[in-house]
Structure 1
Amino acid sequence: MSKVIKGSAPADSEVILGILNNSDTVLERLYVAYFPMVLQLIINNNGNEDDAKDIYQEAIIVLYNKIKSGDFELTSKLKTFIYSVCRRLWLKRLSQLNRYEGDIRDFQDYLPVEDDVEKQTDRDQQYNKMESALKQLGEPCRTIIEDFYMHDRSMQDICERFGYTNADNAKTQKYKCLQRLKKLFFQLN
């Protein structure tokens, strides 16, 4: 068995397999391995260390979600992919802050990765919208929805917890709550 050096970059295939197998060690090594590259990119382009940490975290989430979705095909080095995602995210952030001057100083090869980043951004916005709708939903609906969809509780458990006469009544209430949640969700801009 080969000895793993703590600060060394994991092999690309090791990262993909590690993420598929929920390995915290691989994720930790990934964070350590490529963060200095991202830090340099952000600092050289109107950012600071906190910006770099945020951007790097977002890029790792994009990578993680792509690998977990099963449709990830690495067509470059993983380092290049991560740099490219961070670069795109940083360009977008600079643009939002009106600090983008039309050019960015690069020191690594990069790939166009706009679709992946846009999909992740859209997904994040949808999650935030759903979270807001859930907060507005009120009780007992919010707890019923959370118990069923997030905590995998059975309709029988929910029935007992809320004092419904049977699981069918609880299911009817869950349906009504879901309809209210959808209405709130689509009312949010």
Structure 2
Amino acid sequence: MKDKKDQEILRGILAGDRAVIKTFYKENFNYIRGYVVQNSGSKEDVEDVFQDALMILYEKLESGPLELHASLRTYFFAICKNLWKKRLRKKSKVFTTDTVFEISEELDDDILQRIENQDREHIYHKYFLQLSATCQKLLSLVFEEKSMRQIAEKTGYSEGYARKKKFECKKHLMDRIESDPAYKELRIHTTQE
């Protein structure tokens, strides 16, 4: 399973928790809409695909534990994508040229990449906020591409101490990020592609 948030969402969906389902809808509907609309779909099609995918997810959860190898959002997007392609085939709106199909696949990859990037940002942000205020300030200055001299001036440290502290803070942040199961899952998913 990817992370605790995904587990909570899956439990909420299985329990029929309206608040969880509503939040899941708000967080994922635009991704699905983007894909379906870019591939000859209407707003009604998006709603149908989303609801059908939610039912499929619910049925899979009812039949036993669900093992995710990516984020729940990525998994759900894949269900929606497959449902929409199946509907297109039924409607005989399937793309007939290889070029158009390749463009569609590139769009899928772009959307999946955006989702994975958001997952990475979420993980980074979660652990960044757990750092001490000193580390947050120092790393923020580093990310703003300030020189060591500027960082030393703003923090009141010597350049040598600022450099040492930057290294310690960065290492602490990376150690926490790399120990996160969700981050490990993203790395596995990225290296498999």
The alignment's TM-score, normalised by the length of structure 1, stands at 0.50
TM-score by length of 2: 0.49
Higher normalized contact order (CA 8 Å, seq sep 6+, divided by chain length): 2
Q: Hey, which of these two has a bigger chunk of helix by percent?
A: 2
